Amino acid sequence: MFLLKVLKSDANLSELRAQSLGVLVFEGKMDEALDALGDLKGPIKLQADIENFNGKKEKAFKVTLPGSRIPRVFLVGLGLESEVKLDDFRVAAAIYTKEAQKSCAEELYLFFPKISAPLSQAIAEGCLLGSYQFDLYKTKKEKGESGIKDVYIIGGDDEFIERGVHLACGQNYARGLANEPPNVINPLSLANIASELADDMKLDCKIYDEKGLEEMGMNALLAVGKGSVNPPRLIHLTYKQAADSRVKVALVGKGLTFDSGGLNIKASENMRTMKGDKAGACTLLGVMRTLPKLNLQIEVHALIGAVENMPSGSSYKPDDIIRAYNGKTIEIDNTDAEGRVTMADILSFASGLSPSYILDVATLTGACAVALGPYTAGLFSNDQAFCNTLLEISSFTGERLWQLPLDDVRLRKRLDSPFADVLNSAGRYGGAITAAMFLREFVREGISWAHLDIAGVNYYKDPFGYYPKGASGFGVRTILEWLSKLQGP
């Protein structure tokens, strides 16, 4: 993976000399996009007309002008102006960055004639998100590609570009962690990573080992980890910029560093990519890495249950009854519904901090992916105003959320157990909803809570837009934008 800088430029396009220029074009409005290029407009438009490029969404066209002041010009389509969304600019910037990278350009300029502060942020995010690649373990790098060093947004807003850089770097950091294989990241090494992050970012950090967890009564977390040689950890990071922070938030992340399913073992095709079951935890670490750079005057606690779910003679079993941190008892129906069991303890612990809000992020259910597909995360909440805020923010960040219900009393009855307070699984139908209902049992009354089920969006087998193959880092930017709104104007 290489790093690039995204900066503002006040360059005059009619005089600019550069290795590469990207121009974002509304469909059917080529002249408007190219007017500022002066002497280059004619030859660029001629080639575009010959190839019938007219700015259709996500289409790119490379114009080569040997010997000219800008030898490579990339036209990237935004689609119809009346239909364009902010996220289309992220995607277009990512397409340009990737195409320019193939051309071995090290210095890129990017132009859009109607640039604004929000567009500056979105374009900066798109450039960085589009440039991400996880090649840490490749001994031979891809041929024909070089590292882009600098991207200049012509006429952009310095403050918003910097903000976009911070948010995108947080997401790319989360991607990098989530892509790491399970022989590299286990509960112990994830705790070490969190501790090092805390040192770097001047965060408070507390790591609870298995002895501490037992003394605390974290029996659910411990039960899930019983089958592994790698013992579980509770990670608690705290960001507190001001002594009198008006808002306290608890973020809870599922940190299954690998999920075999336990004794209810997964089929082999379903076990592949289960390194990504720690994606919720990685999202939170990306958030906490970025928070100090945004200088928000709030108090944020990130709580991660790091555990490995493996089958062995010591594994927890179907029919086990476990007493969670808040005293409620859980009957185990399925050991592959382990994430919610782990999070039961962490949500209970988070409630004890008496935050105004709890937001949890988890690759919780395949049922959510079945319901919403691979591009939209499920959103559940006990507070409609909180939910509405997250939905509004997601339309800005492009991280699609869809609210699912929590008010079906008949579905809730399927979690009732004749032997304990609650079952950990209510079967296949409505599985994302009943899993969220289970989590709600461990959130203290009076706390605004929201749950993001990112099981369908945490990992992509095929690249698209600004997402490469592999971990997505979904949720980092949405959470950071929400935390920024909590601070107020």
Q: What are 428-461's pLDDT values in tens digits?
A: 999 999 999 999 999 999 999 999 999 999 999 9
Query: Are 291 and 375 members of one domain?
Result: yes
Last residue of a domain, one of 156, 177, 209: 156
- In-domain check, residue 236: yes
145 pLDDT higher than 80: no
Q: What is the pLDDT of residue 34?
A: 96
Whether 133 is covered by a domain: the verdict is yes
Q: Are residues 55 and 183 in the same domain?
A: no
What's this model's pTM, rounded to 2 decimal places? 0.96
Please count the structural domains in the chain: 2
In this prediction, residue 1 carries a pLDDT of 45
Confidence of residue 4 (pLDDT cuts 50, 70, 90): confident
* Same domain membership, residue 72 and residue 36: yes
* Domain identity same for 147 and 272: no
The reply to whether 459 and 397 lie within a common domain is yes
Query: What's the pLDDT score for residue 143?
Result: 53
Q: Are residues 130 and 183 in the same domain?
A: no
pLDDT, tens digit, for every residue of 18-33?
A: 999 999 999 999 999 9
In a domain, 333, yes or no: yes
Q: Out of 102-111, 121-130, 145-154, which region has the weakest mean confidence (pLDDT)?
A: 145-154
pLDDT in the model for residue 246: 79
Give pLDDT tens digits for 176-201: 999 999 999 999 999 999 999 999 99
User: What are 68-123's pLDDT values in tens digits?
Assistant: 999 999 999 999 999 999 999 999 999 999 999 888 888 999 999 999 999 999 99
Q: Do 235 and 138 belong together in one domain?
A: no
Mean pLDDT of the chain: 96
Confidence check: pLDDT of 2 > 80: no
Domain C-terminal end among 156, 179, 204 = 156
Same domain? For 295 and 373 the reply is: yes
Domain that residue 369 falls in = 168-487
One of 45, 90, 254, 340 is an active-site residue; which one? 340
pLDDT at residue 244 tops 80: no
- Per the model's pLDDT, the better-predicted residue between 428 and 330 turns out to be 330
Contact (Cβ atoms closer than 8 angstroms) between residue 370 and residue 430: no
Q: Could you tell me the CATH number of the domain that includes residue 361? A: 3.40.630.10
pLDDT 10s digits, 269-312: 999 999 999 999 999 999 999 999 999 999 999 999 999 999 99
Extract the tokens encoding 214: 């037992």
Mean pLDDT confidence for 347-363 = 98
Mean pLDDT of 413-424: 98
* Each residue's pLDDT tens digit, 34-69: 999 999 999 999 999 999 999 999 999 999 999 999
Residue 178 lies in a domain: yes
What lies within 8 Å, CB to CB, of 232 at 6+ separation is: 187, 210, 213, 221, 222, 224, 225, 305, 306, 307, 308
444 counts as catalytic: no
Q: What is the CATH number of the domain that holds 141?
A: 3.40.220.10
Is 161 domain-assigned? Answer: no
Q: Read off the pLDDT band of 234 (50, 70, 90).
A: very high
Percentage of the chain modeled with pLDDT above 70: 97
Q: Is residue 241 part of a domain?
A: yes
In this prediction, residues 400-426 reach a mean pLDDT of: 98
Structure tokens at 308: 């490995």
Query: Measuring CA to CA, which residue among 34, 155, 150, 44 is closest to residue 97?
Result: 150
What's the rounded mean pLDDT across residues 221-226? Answer: 98
Flag whether pLDDT at 480 surpasses 80.
yes
Task: Evaluate whether 27 touches 57 at the Cβ level (below 8 Å).
Answer: yes
| Domain-ending residue, one of 106, 136, 156 | 156
Asked whether residue 216 falls in the same domain as residue 148, the answer is no
Q: Is the pLDDT of residue 248 over 60?
A: yes
pLDDT at 141: 65
Active site includes 45? no
Identify whether residues 122 and 200 lie together within a single domain: no
Which one of 56, 57, 85, 266 is the catalytic residue? 266
- The whole-number pLDDT of residue 106 equals 86
Residue 163 lies in a domain: no
User: 377: Cβ–Cβ under 8 A, 6 or more apart, which residues?
Assistant: 368, 399, 400, 401, 402, 452, 453, 454, 456, 457, 474, 475
**Percent of the chain residues past pLDDT 90, beyond the cut:** 93
Residue 396 lies in a domain: yes
Q: For residues 94 and 136, state if they share a domain.
A: yes
Confidence category of residue 142, pLDDT binned at 50, 70, 90: low
* Claim to verify: residue 235 and residue 377 sit in the same structural domain: yes
